[in-house]
């Protein structure tokens, strides 16, 4: 994965996700995209890709160490990838607290930081 960090959590990235995430994210892996970092807590990074608006369902991307996953926002289920159970529980707890805000962010594409889990 190649990334260039910069500008308040916005990351200019290419090959954004490792191939294990499947075909639906091939556009992210092969093109340059902006990926705002929405939150970071306990070593977990939550991002939402600008181009995701074009391919439902609404979702967030989770990175924890070498683990990556995608969580859909309606039912808060992991739909791609794998993360450790405790990480999944923490992200779900955080996402439940901010679910409506995350859905509105997806729909509006107006990205901003969200408070991390305490």
* Terminal-residue alpha carbon distance, the chain: 29
The pLDDT of residue 50 is: 75
Q: Environment class of residue 23 by beta-carbon count within 10 Å: exposed (0-12), middle (13-18) or buried (19+)?
A: exposed
The pLDDT of residue 13 is: 36
pTM, two decimal places: 0.71
Query: Running DSSP on this structure, what letter comes out for residue 57?
Result: S
Instruction: Please answer whether residues 16 and 35 qualify as being in contact, where contact means their C-beta atoms are separated by less than 8 angstroms.
Output: yes
Q: Environment class of residue 17 by beta-carbon count within 10 Å: exposed (0-12), middle (13-18) or buried (19+)?
A: buried
Question: pLDDT tens across 62-86, in order?
Answer: 999 999 999 999 999 999 999 999 9
The pLDDT of residue 54 is: 57
Would you list the domain boundaries of the chain? 2-108
């Amino acid at each position: 994965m190649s990334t260039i960090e910069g500008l308040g959590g916005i990351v200019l990235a290419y090959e954004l996700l490792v191939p294990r995430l499947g075909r639906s994210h091939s556009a992210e892996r092969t093109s340059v995209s902006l990926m705002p970092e929405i939150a970071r807590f306990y070593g977990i990074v939550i991002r939402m890709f600008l181009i995701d608006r074009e391919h439902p369902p609404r979702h967030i991307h989770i990175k924890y160490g070498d683990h990556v996953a995608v969580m859909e926002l309606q039912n808060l289920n992991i739909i791609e990838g794998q993360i450790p159970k405790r990480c999944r529980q923490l992200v779900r707890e955080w996402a439940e607290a901010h679910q409506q805000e995350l859905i509105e962010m997806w729909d509006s594409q107006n990205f901003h930081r969200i408070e991390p889990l305490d």
